[in-house]
Amino acid sequence: MSSDAPASTTPTTARAIVAGHGDFAAGLVSAVDQITGRGAQLIPVSVAKLSVEDIEALLRSRMQETNVRVIFTDLQAGSCTMASRRILRGMDDAVLIAGTNLPTLLDFVFADSRTPPDAARHAAERGRAAITVHGAGA
Amino acid sequence: MTLELYRIDDRLIHGQVVVGWGQPLDIAFIVLVDDTVATSDWEQELYRMGVPPEMDLYFHTTDDAIKQIPRYRADPRRGLLLTGDIDTMRKLVDGGAGITSVNVGGIHFRAGRTQRLRYVFLTPDEETALRELDARGAGVTAQDVPGARPITLSDMLAGDELE
């Protein structure tokens, strides 16, 4: 790299956890990284075979290790969402986004001028608006 | 209709229950039997937010559930009864709730438990409790989602189905 080259502005510090069923987290984070190169902002957490108590302990541990205060989950009724809501009960500065999709995470990783909780709220709105229907009379 | 499924699942309300079973069985209500949840407004609110608005969720202690199950069986809608552990289901069966089949949907790892299926880990006492349930006419099978093959208790305890 020459000395005139702009410094990279791609954040590499983890800013959020992604958790859900099956390979949901790894798949979405992989997709974010492929599209933006910013996948390092997201920590994928797999919870297969874990009890609700262990899911809660795992997510809490990841949050403490990384000082992350944002969790993205897949399903409102999912175990990761339930566990996250228990964690948030004693953590006023944390945010949970349930129903996460790829547009949500793409918006989040580019909103690095905002605080992570603020970026998460903004990303949730963007993800909600990104669902469209085409064809068959739509 | 009736209570379509009596399920033991330590995650209680979660995706497999609400979506995996709820949609194909057209489940309109869930009866959640748990002594802790039934006495905690916060826990109940937590689980209520996990079900879609068109699905009703009722909470009962074990003793209360034994009395209420006939009423739920007479409900014109389809329902699902859920406990978080084997002991609670055994109390319902012992209490004369008339349960003739029990679905083991998820009992996850904890110290002292041995893995029997991908989603079932049991202590020796829990294995005995399942055998007793089965012997009392509450046929026990394991099946995490409707599309999976039901696994008999003997196959479950043999651990032959482990992937």
| Residuewise pLDDT in 10s, chain B (163 residues) | 589 999 999 999 999 999 999 999 999 999 999 999 999 999 999 999 999 999 999 999 999 999 999 999 999 999 999 999 999 999 999 998 889 999 999 999 989 999 999 999 999 999 999 999 999 999 999 999 999 999 999 999 998 777 5
Residues B106 and B31: their CA atoms lie apart, in Å, by: 17
| Separation of alpha carbons B151 and A77, rounded Å | 26
Mean of pLDDT values over A110-130: 95
Q: Report how far residue B56's alpha carbon sits from residue A8's, in angstroms, rounded to the nearest whole number.
A: 52
Indicate the pTM of the whole model. 0.85
How far apart (Å, rounded) are the C-alpha atoms in residues B37 and A128? Answer: 32
Could B15 and A77 be called an inter-chain contact, meaning their C-beta atoms sit closer than 8 Å? yes
Of B13, B42, B118, the CB nearest to A77: B13
pLDDT at B163: 58
For CA atoms B132, B133, B138, B139, the dihedral sign is negative
> Measured between alpha carbons, how far is A44 from A16 in angstroms, rounded to an integer?
9
pLDDT for residue A138: 66
Q: For the residues A85-114, what does the mean pLDDT come to?
A: 94
- Cα–Cα distance measured from residue B40 to residue B24, given in angstroms and rounded to the nearest whole number: 30
Cα(A124)–Cα(A59) distance, rounded to whole angstroms?
Answer: 20
Q: In the prediction, which pLDDT does B21 show?
A: 96
For residue A128, count other CB atoms closer than 10 A to its CB.
12
ipTM score above 0.85: no
Contacts of A52 in chain B (CB under 8 A): 10-12, 14
Comparing CA positions, the residue from B42, B47, B46, B53 lying closest to residue B32 is B47
Q: What is the pLDDT of residue A124?
A: 97
Would you state the pLDDT for residue A1?
41
Q: Which residue of B has its CA nearest to A98?
A: B50
- Cα separation, B43 vs B37, in Å, equals 5
Contacts with B49 from chain A: Cβ below 8 Å: 76, 85
State the CB neighbour count (10 A cutoff) for residue B82.
Answer: 26
Q: What's the CA gap between B97 and B87, in Å, rounded?
A: 14
Q: Check residue A10 and give its pLDDT.
A: 60
Would you say residue A3 has pLDDT above 60?
Answer: no
Angle (CA) B81-B84-B90 rounded to 5° is 75
Reading the block at residue B107, the tokens are 């009992």
Confidence of residue A61 (pLDDT cuts 50, 70, 90): very high
User: What pLDDT score was predicted for residue A50?
Assistant: 86
Please name the residue that has the structure tokens 């330590």: B10
Helix (H) or strand (E) holding B30, with range, is strand B29-33
A44 to chain B, closest Cα gap in Å: 19
